[in-house]
């Protein structure tokens, strides 16, 4: 009986960890799928972003679409390559490389026609349904401005 109780306690300790690990892996898979859709310009924003997602004063999947489209106006050939993905619980962190040609205006500066590659990091929080509810992003904008010839 004592062995049975110990075995059950061990299983109970492993199950939550295993479920958390499965959730983290699921979220990484969803992020990879989102990245692929973004690079192919086939994103169904409501598939990846929760109604509670917020960016630039807008709420819901539409806010992610507006944000994405603002980048694509400036860099229509933008491609984001995932270099590393790390997941813990409901968070997925991606270290990426973003490459694009500035053929549109950027912050009042006309298009340069120059191509640039920068480091891009993002942390995304997923809900229980596997949709992004929060996102924090960091881009190496100094490097981008230098590559585009806007800053020496």
pLDDT at 128 over 70: yes
What is the pLDDT averaged over residues 39-56?
A: 93
Under DSSP, is residue 112 helix (H, G, I), strand (E, B) or coil?
Answer: coil
Q: Where are the alpha helices (DSSP H) in 41-135?
A: 45-48, 61-74
Under DSSP, is residue 145 helix (H, G, I), strand (E, B) or coil?
Answer: helix
Give pLDDT, residue 12.
55
pLDDT at 151 over 90: no
**pTM, whole model, 2 decimals?**
0.84
Burial class (CB in 10 A: 0-12, 13-18, 19+), 126: buried
pLDDT at 11 over 90: no
Give pLDDT, residue 117.
97
pLDDT at 22 over 80: yes
Alpha carbon of residue 30 to chain centroid: 10
From 138, 99, 126, select the one nearest 29 (Cα to Cα).
126
What is the pLDDT averaged over residues 29-57?
A: 94
pLDDT tens-digit readout, 68-124: 999 999 999 999 999 999 999 999 999 999 999 999 998 888 999 999 999 999 999
Which segment, 11-15, 108-112, 127-131, is predicted with the most confidence on average? 127-131
**Distances from the Cα of 89 to the Cα of 11, 31, 92, 130, angstroms:** 20, 14, 8, 12
Give pLDDT, residue 20.
72
Mean pLDDT across the chain: 89
Can you tell me the distance from the alpha carbon of 64 to that of 132, in angstroms, rounded to the nearest whole number?
10
pLDDT at 2 over 90: no
């Amino acid at each position: 009986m004592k062995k049975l109780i110990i075995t059950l306690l061990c299983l109970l300790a492993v199950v939550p960890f295993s479920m958390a690990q499965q959730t983290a892996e699921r979220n990484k898979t969803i992020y990879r799928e989102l990245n692929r859709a973004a690079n192919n310009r086939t994103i169904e924003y409501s598939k990846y972003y929760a109604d509670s997602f917020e960016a630039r004063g807008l709420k819901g999947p539409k806010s992610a679409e507006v944000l994405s489209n603002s980048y694509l106006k400036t860099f229509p050939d933008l491609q984001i390559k995932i270099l590393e993905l790390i997941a813990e619980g409901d968070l997925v962190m991606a270290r990426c490389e973003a490459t694009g040609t500035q053929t549109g205006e950027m912050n009042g500066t006309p298009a340069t026609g120059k191509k640039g590659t920068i480091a891009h990091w993002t942390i995304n929080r997923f809900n229980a349904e596997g949709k992004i509810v929060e996102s924090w992003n960091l881009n190496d904008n100094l490097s981008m401005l230098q590559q585009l010839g806007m800053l020496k």
